[in-house]
Structure 1
Amino acid sequence: MTEAAGVISGRAHLVGRLLAINPTGLGGVWLRARHGAPRDRLTAPLFKELGEIRTVSGTVDDLALFGGVDMTESLLRGVPVMRKGLAEGSGPLAVQGAERLTADRASRLAACCDQRRALVLLDEGSQDEALPHRALRDRLAFMLDECAPDSLSDPVSARSTLDAAARLAECRLTDKETDALVSVAARLGLSDLRAPLLAAETLRTLKALSDTAAPEILLGCAAQLVFGHRALPQDEAATPPPPAEEPSQPDRPDDGGDADADAAFAQNMLVDAISTSLPADVLISLTSRSAVARGQGKGIARRSVLRGRPLPSRAGKVSSGSRVDLLATLSAAAPWQALRNATPGRTAVRPEDIRIRQYKERSERTIIFAVDMSGSAAFARLAEGKGAIEHLLGRAYSERDRVALVTFRDAGAELVLPPTRALTRAKRSLQGLHAGGATPLAAGMKAALDVAAQAVRAGQTPHLVIISDGRANCALDGSNDRQQARSDALLLARHVRSAGIPVTLLDSGARTSPALAELAQSLGTEVHSLKRSSASAALDGLVPTL
């Protein structure tokens, strides 16, 4: 906290200086970057400003992190022995693996943040992993991302850290500045009251740091730093309705209307600056990782004894394939050595002391495309249907998912492509598709359900994508009974829903038919229309679902 005065042009540099001046009011920073050079580029100036900082792993045990009664030492000595935790103290604390923190541990770290301690969350999560817990993210004023530019649009001329900290108590916000921050937060759809409070505290700290910069520059800087990563992408932000026209009024003396117009203009400028402070793909990436936290995205998370991210060890029996956690086993056995009359120099270990390693891994996902190639759905739109499928196949391949392709026409269904990761093979199989004939929708769903069952038996997570207009006219027995065909399709839909298989239903018709809407209700999903003019654009909106 003895950095000298000078001009600050880097975002990470400025965030570090602000946290060094006002760690209690700003909470900390969420740093999102891969381990290695991308993260070092951000942590170097940040840690230089913060000075001495303690770094801990998010997977360390609770006793080492938070402290408390050391049961092992207490039992050996016969008196309570307290142990200090790594999280105790008043200096900045950096937590590695923030995306893997459990809700309980995140809540306890949030309590540390509330007790006037700055946190640095080091997030190395990929696209298929959840974000750090919201209880922590909402308490931190700033976020640094490896994909965002580090340079500031307006460099800040700053005084030294000690001088700025001494002036902090004297700095106040005007009513106009407070109103601007609250109004901008509301326009960005930020419902959490911590956001404008943190922005106000950031602006106050910026005023203590620099008295030469224009007030509007400091206001814009505070809004970008705090609101930038919290704002929704432009297509998701709520757009307020245009104001109704008011009847013309006779000329009256100036009653402050110009001031209101100036305030609105300033707020519009702030919103525009915030919208460009982070690239759109960064905001979309955060949105899709939020979908993963809600259970969408990649395959389901499950416990494993062989591979994945490490979890705390559990008591258990040694069996084939399991791995013994030697350290945890010895720790469990240590307090009982005096009672077991163990031989000096040896540790008596009993079956109840055994601790087994466990991990969390995500299962592979298999996306099964069931495509209607009948005359009603594909005669006029075969080329567009193939393009839409290729678009989805490319998305699946980029996520390293397995893909399978089932087509149905005439009186039955065919597994054109068994589950594979070979994108070239999948695209080649599309070239030989032909349209025409009846619509055996139930047969197509049955074939897709069989492939999904095989995926489940292989330990994978299936996801079904049905592309059809829903006009079934061929029953499972091959007859052209429309009523029976409809009943068979709804019965298979209920089977798919009861199996817990997620479904994306794409309408290949010119308009959604009542039959397809009824099918979507039985599947427990929604209908997404593929417009003739922009199939790819419509599919882009389904990325969080897939």
Structure 2
Amino acid sequence: MSGGLADALIAARLLARLPGPLGGICLRGSGPAVDRVLDALAMLLPPGTPLRRLPGHIDEERLCGGTDIAASLAGGMLVRQRGLLEEARGGVLVVPMAQRLRRDVAGRVAQAMDGGHAFALVLLDDGAPGDERPPPVLMERVAFDLSLANVALADLALPLPERATERAPLPMLDAAEREALAGATQALGIASLRPLLQAEAAAQALAALDGAEAVRRSDVEQAARLVLAPRATQVPAEPPSSSPPPPEGGESAPGEAEQDGAHSDAPETLLVEAVRAAIPPDVLDRIAAGTLGRAKSGAGGGAGQRVRSARRGRPLAARPGLPGGGVRLALVDSLRAAIPWQPLRQRDPAPEGAGPIRFRRDDLRVRRFEERRSSVTVFCVDASGSTAVSRLAEAKGAAELILAQTYVKRADVAVVAFRGEGADVLLPPTRSLTRAKRALAALPGGGGTPLASGLALARQLGEAVAARGSTPVLVFLTDGSANIALDGTRGRARAQEDALLAARAIAGAGHDAVVIDISPRPRPEAARLAEAMRARYLPLPCADAHALHAAVAQVA
């Protein structure tokens, strides 16, 4: 059986055994392997355990409960209905497309889990690697984060685990095992306490499922591999490969060899070594790229920032307010707000023309929506010097790759080039691949390096893009050196000072940005430039179009 499906089925057994302490599981991928794990979890749970699915378009009343409008109007009295979170109490709540779950809904689910609703959470993340992940507030509360992206078809025919008829008591962890898990958590750079507690619970559940009277070292290692390894934010340091050289005379001090051997076999050291080997490849890639913990905002690949809208987009929960000016009345939500007050209001004399439902100003609710802005990736290219041809080739290839995605995602590309005495908008925001190729091919190279002019023009273009309701992402291809000041005078000291001021202006504007150092060797000037504009610094002296596109996608 493949590691991904095997680990997912083990996690399902553990979750069915200890749903409260373990919280839940996140399954990345799509297809029959995910259905296989869900079927296994349903079989392992006790009969009659509720299993509910959370629709992405759910509203506040259906999620948390509230007034049943139809029953209240028919019966003339307040009738309340249970919410989905209440229905899932003691069972499992499955969240399809969890990476697109609204933050307000995620907050309500997390609040219910902490407030005693006691349900296990299954997050289904069918996004591609590098895309958005489920909300951190929910990922923090599930013990397992497993990938089912590459599962062999032969593994799907294997039998599912059977539900245990008797539940053995949970054995306790001794002090050495707890210290080993705590040391591994610290070595992996995991700051939260929840994964440590979840790993301890997983080790206890593993021992209990095998009928063991005590938690074994293998249980601790497997729990750390399942719970801690996918949450690593750093790769643990390699342990010393050899003991220090013996003192002069060739003999070790009494007991020194025994101490070294005991230290190398310490539970914490062995556990860290085992977990280091179990860190998933995608986590290692994100650690190396420095993208762990970074929130994804406007994208070079298409998705821009989320903004509130009064007329279109994904529906959000209604809020108190007055309709008008493009804001529409939420009639059903207004009814829900007014019905509980009807017994009190019916005692007062009815005003002339009053209907069966008496509304007040505070009862009115208005509709809200959320939509994603389109994004514009602005490439700012250094076209000066003898390497201008290769730099333009990189920008052209990356622009072509991003433009190819605009058929399915809303994304535009613009190109700013600086050389000689100033900077020019080589290509205004467009989705036309033909225009991009034509404009990039027609740009000559050479001359001075007016870096400050290029940064200033890129910022102005970004502000224009933001003013039109789109999300700008600024990508600078430069080695960070400059010899032309903002006013056109020559001199490296003044030019570098103007460039840093222009970079700080970009930081003040709040635009997402990345500085790609394409010099033969990484230069401190480019790193200082990125620090000044609060952008990510990528030393890519040998970047090709695919590497550049991947770097931009990670930042955006």
* TM-score, normalising length: structure 2: 0.75
1:482 Cα offset (Å) = 6.0
Partner of 2:52: 55
- Letter of the aligned partner of 2:333 in structure 1? A
Partner of 2:195: 195
Q: Would you say how many aligned residue pairs link Structure 1 and Structure 2?
A: 524
- Letter of the aligned partner of 1:47 in structure 2? A
Partner of 1:300: 305
Distance change in 2, residues 1:39/1:385 (3 Å):
same
Alpha-carbon separation, structure 2, partners of 1:159 and 1:520: 56
Q: Is the counterpart of residue 275 in structure 1 residue 287 in structure 2?
A: no
Could you tell me which of 235, 238, 263 is aligned with 1:237?
235
Could you tell me which of 402, 418, 423 is aligned with 2:412?
402
Partner of 1:184: 184
Distance change in 2, residues 1:453/1:63 (3 Å):
closer
- Letter of the aligned partner of 2:195 in structure 1? A
- Letter of the aligned partner of 1:292 in structure 2? A
List per-residue Cα deviations over 1:347-399 (Å, max 9, x = no partner): 56676644322122221221111111112xxx046325523663476367657
List per-residue Cα deviations over 1:90-127 (Å, max 9, x = no partner): 52130536532437424412314x66543334456676
Trace 1:8-407 onto structure 2 (pairs within 5 A). 10-33=6-29, 39-50=34-45, 51=47, 52-55=49-52, 57=54, 60=58, 65-66=63-64, 85-88=83-86, 90-96=89-95, 98=98, 99-102=101-104, 104-112=107-115, 116-123=118-125, 129=132, 131-134=134-137, 136-147=138-149, 149=151, 160-163=163-166, 165=167, 167-169=168-170, 171-173=171-173, 177-211=177-211, 218-232=219-233, 236-239=234-237, 242=240, 246-248=244-246, 249-250=252-253, 252=255, 255=258, 258=261, 260-263=263-266, 266-267=270-271, 270-276=274-280, 290-292=293-295, 298-319=303-324, 321-334=326-339, 335-336=341-342, 338=346, 340=350, 347=357, 353-375=363-385, 379-380=386-387, 382-383=389-390, 386-387=393-394, 390-391=397-398, 394=401, 398=405, 401-407=411-417
Alpha-carbon separation, structure 2, partners of 1:253 and 1:238: 26
1:159 Cα offset (Å) = 7.1
1:257 Cα offset (Å) = 5.5
- Letter of the aligned partner of 2:376 in structure 1? T
Alpha-carbon separation, structure 1, partners of 2:362 and 2:353: 19
- Shifted more, 322-331 versus 516-525: the winner is 516-525
Q: Which runs of 5+ in 1 are unaligned?
A: 1-7
Alpha-carbon separation, structure 1, partners of 2:133 and 2:86: 27
1:87 counterpart SS class: helix
Distance change in 2, residues 1:263/1:159 (3 Å):
farther
RMSD value over aligned CA atoms? 4.7
1:19 counterpart SS class: helix
- Shifted more, 394-403 versus 411-420: the winner is 394-403
- Shifted more, 520-529 versus 289-298: the winner is 289-298
Trace 1:393-542 onto structure 2 (pairs within 5 A). 394=401, 398=405, 401-423=411-433, 425-427=435-437, 429-475=439-485, 478=488, 480=490, 485=495, 489-490=499-500, 492-510=502-520, 519-520=529-530, 522-525=532-535, 527-532=537-542
Alpha-carbon separation, structure 1, partners of 2:369 and 2:162: 49
- Shifted more, 59-68 versus 223-232: the winner is 59-68
2:334 counterpart SS class: helix
Alpha-carbon separation, structure 2, partners of 1:410 and 1:372: 10
Distance change in 2, residues 1:328/1:288 (3 Å):
farther
- Shifted more, 264-273 versus 48-57: the winner is 264-273
- Shifted more, 280-289 versus 351-360: the winner is 280-289
1:292 counterpart SS class: coil
1:312 Cα offset (Å) = 0.7
Alpha-carbon separation, structure 2, partners of 1:262 and 1:156: 38
Distance change in 2, residues 1:274/1:86 (3 Å):
same
1:436 Cα offset (Å) = 1.0
User: Do 1:367 and 1:396's aligned partners in 2 also have CA atoms closer than 8 Å?
Assistant: no
1:409 Cα offset (Å) = 1.7
1:404 Cα offset (Å) = 0.7
2:184 counterpart SS class: helix
Alpha-carbon separation, structure 1, partners of 2:113 and 2:35: 25
Alpha-carbon separation, structure 1, partners of 2:480 and 2:412: 26
Alpha-carbon separation, structure 1, partners of 2:517 and 2:543: 14
Q: Which runs of 5+ in 2 are unaligned?
A: 247-251
List per-residue Cα deviations over 1:311-343 (Å, max 9, x = no partner): 111233444654443311332343447355697
Distance change in 2, residues 1:470/1:325 (3 Å):
same
- Letter of the aligned partner of 1:141 in structure 2? A
- Letter of the aligned partner of 1:111 in structure 2? D
Alpha-carbon separation, structure 2, partners of 1:373 and 1:173: 63
- Letter of the aligned partner of 2:23 in structure 1? G
1:439 counterpart SS class: coil
List per-residue Cα deviations over 1:164-186 (Å, max 9, x = no partner): x1x124x3445665454344333
Distance change in 2, residues 1:39/1:160 (3 Å):
closer
- Letter of the aligned partner of 1:200 in structure 2? E
Alpha-carbon separation, structure 2, partners of 1:282 and 1:496: 29
